[in-house]
């Protein structure tokens, strides 16, 4: 569903599509409690690629009993719409600071693109009858459910709440530096449900099998310098290749008996004598 304000603020960008709308008054998400199902919610000013939306839904189904969020950047403050000195990721740590690229979990989160299990929403409304916002829900969720909400970094929706005007022709734009590496599924604990769900995905198993074949081919061709790139892709899928490599067998050589029994080059072997 896509959240939709009863009155769209003037001058704000939004997404026009065919996703079912959840009409909100005063940005109160109370109508969510009336939806008798789990909800994948996209906010009215969030753009998301179709492939990413399907991927996020697939990941949500793998851990259907817990909240899942996607990261998106903020360019202005959420209350007074004051431009930030530099864009930040929306979700926050326990201390209130914004997460860095690739952090697997957050404690506080904006809705943006989020999966909300019906059981969690029902439990929240049973304890809180006031204004239903991402802030009130997120605070309750941290206290009553968990402060470790997984972030799906494979999906990158775009928050359209920013003014593109000042960005045109400016050389000193604030830039979020790229991460040193992509967050890997292998960074998560082995018993983490998100990682286990990834490993159980048949599509991911097929990708791992193909990468292992490619890796074996590179080693057979003596191209070991290209193996680390394949290993990184395996690690992203939660598979550490080195842990599954068979022990290297020592090279086989002819036995001393074979050497002794082989005739010198150019000489015929003497036939063996047998007892009569």
Taking only the tens place, the pLDDT of each residue in 232-248 is: 888 777 777 655 555 44
Interval 152-196: pLDDT, tens: 999 999 988 766 655 544 455 555 555 555 555 666 666 766 667
Cβ atoms of 124 and 44 closer than 8 Å: no
Mean pLDDT of 51-66: 90
∠ Cα 163 30 57 (to 5°): 70
E-state strands within 59-99 = 68-69, 73-76, 83-89
The model's pTM: 0.61
Is residue 151 within 8 Å of residue 99, measured between CB atoms? yes
When mean pLDDT is compared across 64-78, 192-206, 261-275, the lowest value belongs to 261-275
What contacts 24+ positions apart, CB below 8 Å, involve 139-142?
Answer: 139/108, 141/67, 142/94, 142/107, 142/108
Please, are residues 128 and 136 in contact by the beta-carbon 8 Å criterion?
yes
Residue 208 neighbours by CB under 8 Å, 6+ apart: 234, 237, 239
What digits encode the pLDDT tens for the residues 10-51? 888 899 999 999 999 988 999 999 999 999 999 999 999 888
Overall average pLDDT of the 54-78 stretch = 88
Q: Whole-number mean pLDDT of the chain?
A: 80
Question: With contact defined as beta carbons under 8 Å apart, do 29 and 3 qualify?
Answer: yes
Residue 237 is encoded by which pair of tokens?
């899928």
Structural domains in the chain plus CATH codes: 2-163 (3.90.550), 197-244 (no CATH)
């Amino acid at each position: 569903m896509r959240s939709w304000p009863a009155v769209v603020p003037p001058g704000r960008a939004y997404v026009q599509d065919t996703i079912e709308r959840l009409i909100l008054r005063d940005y109160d998400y109370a109508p969510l409690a009336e939806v008798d199902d789990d909800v994948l919610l996209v906010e009215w000013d969030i753009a998301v690629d179709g492939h990413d939306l399907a991927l996020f839904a697939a990941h949500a189904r793998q851990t259907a009993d817990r909240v899942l969020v996607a990261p998106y950047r903020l360019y202005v403050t959420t209350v007074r719409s004051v431009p930030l000195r530099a864009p930040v990721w929306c979700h926050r740590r326990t201390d209130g600071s914004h997460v860095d690229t690739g952090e697997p979990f957050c404690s506080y989160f904006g809705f943006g693109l989020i999966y909300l299990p019906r059981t969690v929403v029902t439990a929240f409304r049973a304890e809180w009858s006031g204004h239903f916002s991402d802030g009130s829900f997120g605070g309750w969720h941290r206290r009553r459910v968990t402060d470790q909400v997984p972030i799906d970094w494979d999906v990158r929706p775009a928050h359209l709440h920013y003014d593109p005007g000042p960005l045109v022709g400016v050389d000193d734009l604030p830039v979020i530096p790229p991460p040193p590496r992509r967050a890997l599924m292998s960074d998560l604990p082995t018993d983490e449900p998100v990682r286990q769900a990834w490993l159980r995905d048949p599509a991911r198993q097929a990708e791992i099998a193909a990468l292992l074949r490619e890796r074996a081919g590179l080693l057979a061709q003596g191209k070991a310098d290209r193996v680390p790139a394949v290993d990184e892709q395996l690690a992203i899928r939660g598979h550490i290749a080195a842990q599954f490599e068979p022990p290297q067998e020592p090279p086989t050589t002819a036995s001393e008996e074979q050497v002794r029994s082989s005739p010198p080059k150019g000489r015929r072997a003497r036939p063996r004598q047998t007892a009569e």
